[in-house]
Amino acid sequence: CKTTVDLIGQGAAGGLYQAQAHLFAIDAATLLSDHEIQDEVFGPSSVVVRCASVDQMRDVIERLEGQLT
């Protein structure tokens, strides 16, 4: 089963040696159940994590691994 991540926005396509920015969204339960989706991505991308409660938000924060940026 493949995890669903929604593309909710993207920047204009860049030229040679320029990356295109992307903004994704996922619900917290799905993020927490699929460790692979938490892997770091290099380049201009961000993920909005939709949490059902403050407790769930704390759970997400506690389980996230460190990132370079």
HSE, side-chain direction, 13 A CA sphere, residue 31: 23
pTM of the model: 0.79
Q: What is the mean pLDDT of residues 7-27?
A: 92
Task: Indicate if the pLDDT at residue 20 is higher than 80.
Answer: yes
Nearest to 50 by CA among 19, 68, 24, 27: 27
The beta-strand segments (E) located in 1-69 are: 6-10, 22-27, 45-50
First to last CA, the chain: 29
Quote the pLDDT of residue 2.
Answer: 61
pLDDT of residue 29: 94
State mean pLDDT over 30-51.
Answer: 89
68 CB contacts (<8 Å, ≥6 apart)?
40
